[in-house]
Amino acid sequence: MGYVCGKCGTEVTSIEEGMVRCPSCGYRVVYKTREPIAKTIKVD
Ligand SMILES: [Zn+2]
């Protein structure tokens, strides 16, 4: 299961329990890539 950073969108592959952190920008909020992120993408 993968994650993406909630700030810069970098894919976060190495997550330890309790230590969720983007390796690129250090942001501590990530989203599971399996969840529908499409909510923020508008497709008409
Ligand atoms: Zn980031």
What's the CA-to-centroid distance between 26 and ligand 1, angstroms? 6
What's the CA-to-centroid distance between 22 and ligand 1, angstroms? 5
Q: pLDDT at position 26, please? A: 92
* 1-44 residue pLDDT tens: 688 999 999 998 877 777 788 989 999 988 888 755 555 656 57
Q: pLDDT at position 7, please? A: 95
Owner of token pair 């989203």: 31
Owner of token pair 């993408």: 41
Do 11 and 42 meet the contact criterion of CB atoms below 8 Å apart?
A: no
What's the CA-to-centroid distance between 4 and ligand 1, angstroms? 8
Q: pLDDT at position 3, please? A: 86
Q: pLDDT at position 8, please? A: 96
Spell out the domain ranges in the chain.
1-30
CA atoms within 13 A on the CB side of 10: 16
Q: pLDDT at position 2, please? A: 82
Residue partners of 15: CB distance under 8 A and separation at least 6: 3, 30
DSSP SS3 for 37:
helix
Do 1 and 31 meet the contact criterion of CB atoms below 8 Å apart?
A: no
